[in-house]
Structure 1
Amino acid sequence: MTTEHAALINGEPLPTDRVNAFLETPPGGAGNCATSHDEPAPARRPQEAPSVARQRRRWATQVIVTDELARRACADRGLNPPPEVSPAKVLTLAESDVADLGSIVAAALAHSPAVRTLLAALEAEQTVPETAVRDYYDRNQDRFLTADALRRGADPFGETAAPEDLLPYDAVREDIARELRRAAGRQAFFGWLDQARGGVTYSHGHEHPGDPSHPDHEHRH
């Protein structure tokens, strides 16, 4: 007997069909966590071992649950995500996003306009103190060497670098503040997601891929 819902979110069913649709995304889209979709997709996905298929379904369930939770959060906040893209044209995953966010959240970010909208809103809410921006500049001066200083191999933490070898603070302040605000927004997003997942109950076969209660579990994100 086929389970009609992949999960219950605060008691409301999340249809299995949504997970199935995501799983049917052609290879090269977010459905297989690829980082490019520029090449033609093969006609069908290669045969998978049963354990791999089970884990991929659990992974996909997490992506769709994240999408649904973000949709509800956007509605609560009065945010209006843009229309969804078709599965065949799903946004590409950046390798840096997979490394920074984990494959589940990175895929949700690529797949879901609601996730992108919510993350942008959380980033916009962050306030970065001037002291934090200045501290970042002072502690990471290797990132602010001028092109000439880089060519000469100047050491920003030693005696070989002069003040003129560094980009002025005022010239890079906005970029630093933007980067710190982005990092704070992502931290806020993870805090929101951890709390929101507390109301989710998964159906058999749709548990988290890292759930140790099933034999195929592996702790990856």
Structure 2
Amino acid sequence: MHSFFSAEHLSSLLLQYGYGAIGVVVMLESMGLPLPAETLLIGSALFCATTHKLSIAGVMIAGVTGAIMGDNFGYLIGRRLGLKLLQKHGPKIGLTSERLLLGRYVFFQYGGPVVFLGRFVAVLRMFVALLAGANHMPWHTFLWYNALGGVCWAGGYTLCTYLLGNEIFKLSGPLAIVAGCCAVIVIGTSFLFLKKNEKRLTEEALKAAEQNEHLRIPSA
């Protein structure tokens, strides 16, 4: 288990702060902070299974609530500050106004599955809400996929760990490798597709922006 949450530290944390600690850590990671929320959920579920000093239902509710709230805060931060930062510093790394518009268009079209699947990949989990906000993904769409992802990730991980007990550690390594490989393949394939079709997609984005104000990029 991550050294940040040794067995003694975790037990002390949960006994002292209970469900609140779980919700806060998961929420902060979902907002973009590098915290081991997944490790905490697994450890908390094992703590429930072995000590019965916390309710597994309470852990699940705390995890799901923290995940959904954190992503919504991250979305708001990204929507308020993300676009301005991208407009200001994007050209320095090749992110022209056309590519910024293209990114908004792609996220607008396919952002839902990205938000949902991003829940299960550690790096994406920290930044997907910020990206959704920066790209002005419609909030009602974001909320739906965010909530669905939060329930499946936090609730699913917690319940499976509780039912499987220590067997989860034998499975977590291979599952993490498989998830990481899938993420690399999906991201790599998406990058190659965008690179090959950038001109065509940019033209589509320009036409879509003329008809949909959500895609238009305000002046910096």
TM-score exceeds 0.5: no
State the TM-score, normalized to the length of structure 1: 0.27
State the TM-score, normalized to the length of structure 2: 0.27
Higher helix share: 2
Which structure has the greater CA radius of gyration? 1
Higher strand share: 1
